[in-house]
Amino acid sequence: MSKNLLRKSTLLEEYMFSNKTIWVKREDLSTRSPGPPFSKTRGLYEHIKALPQRHIGVLDTFHSYGGWAIAYICQALGKKAHVFYPQYVGDNGKSYRKSQTEAKKLGAELEPLKAGRSCILYHSAKTIMSNRFDKKGYMIPNALKIQESVDSTADELVISLAKHRKLLRGTWIVSVSSGTIAAGVLKGLMLMDVGKKVTMIMHMGYSRSEKSLINYVDKMSGRLTYPHATPSIRVVDEGYQYKDSIDYPCPFPCNSYYDLKAWKWLIENYSKMKKPCVFWNIGAD
């Protein structure tokens, strides 16, 4: 069934942009329509498929595609998605964001919560799921932090790079929110035994604790178990806020809240990068 929902070995394309040569891993193509252009769908599918529960809850934040992905997977697996989302004062309960609109089309139950901090919203949603469904319900971890997304990303890298070993050096750039996909890219690079031939740049979609990000990526990737194979790592924080999106020229679909910011930074700093440059595009708008 996963073949009907997801694509393995997405395109790894060479782009010439503004006189710059950049290889782009097109993970925005990982999920088939009507699913979201969002590579975390891979890991979420494996996670949900293994669950005995029929009712699956998820917290959809301001510009997350998590709810859309969960609804897409649940529809295919015969489960029921419950998408909790922050309802802002200006919404007046009349409008949904894109993720909620698409999730509803796929049969999800939409569950509005008064807007607030993510951790509080998540606790509220988890309590509702527990009270309503008891052991028949399950709440996806906050921020979609699951090991399956790390492992499926690492597998995708290993499969794709087997035919492009010349790219196992230089500079790799990946946008980070929670850091889950970045942990998968890191794990894949370590499995390919790149060592210090690669510098991996994690570009923050929005500012937060660099230490917490590194600790999470280390834990999820198993970095400390691959000391000889670990690439050099650099975190870039340009001071973006969570709700900031940008507009910038890009020759492929790119998410304006996350990946596009990293792409803009790469173009502006290309001359300083070790070559080749590989850009891991997680998703699109």
Q: What average pLDDT does the structure give for the chain?
A: 95
Structure confidence at residue 244 (pLDDT): 96
CATH fold of the domain at 2-30+147-281: Rossmann fold (3.40.50)
> How far apart are alpha carbons 140 and 146 in whole angstroms?
8
Regions of the chain short of the pLDDT cut 70: 1, 90-95
Is it true that 2-30+147-281 and 40-144 share their CATH fold? yes
| Lookup: tokens for 62 | 């301001």
Reference 132, options 72, 54, 49; nearest CA is: 54
Residue type, 209: S
Instruction: List pLDDT tens digits, range 189-232.
Output: 999 999 999 999 999 999 999 999 999 999 999 998 887 788 99
Contact at 8 Å (CB) between 239 and 207? Answer: yes
Structure confidence at residue 1 (pLDDT): 60
Kind plus residue range of the DSSP H or E element containing 119 = helix 118-133
Which CATH architecture describes the domain 40-144? 3-Layer(aba) Sandwich (3.40)
Q: Hey, which residues does 174 pair with through a beta bridge?
A: 202, 280
What are the sequence ranges of the domains in the chain?
2-30+147-281, 40-144
Residue type, 150: V
Structure confidence at residue 92 (pLDDT): 60
Distances (CA, A) of 74 to 42, 45, 50: 13, 9, 12
Structure confidence at residue 127 (pLDDT): 98
- Which runs of E-coded beta strand occur in the chain? 12-17, 20-26, 55-59, 80-87, 109-114, 137-139, 170-176, 198-204, 232-236, 277-281
Contact at 8 Å (CB) between 178 and 214? Answer: no
Structure confidence at residue 91 (pLDDT): 65
Structure confidence at residue 138 (pLDDT): 98
Structure confidence at residue 40 (pLDDT): 98
Distances (CA, A) of 88 to 99, 100, 127: 15, 14, 21
> How far apart are alpha carbons 51 and 61 in whole angstroms?
23
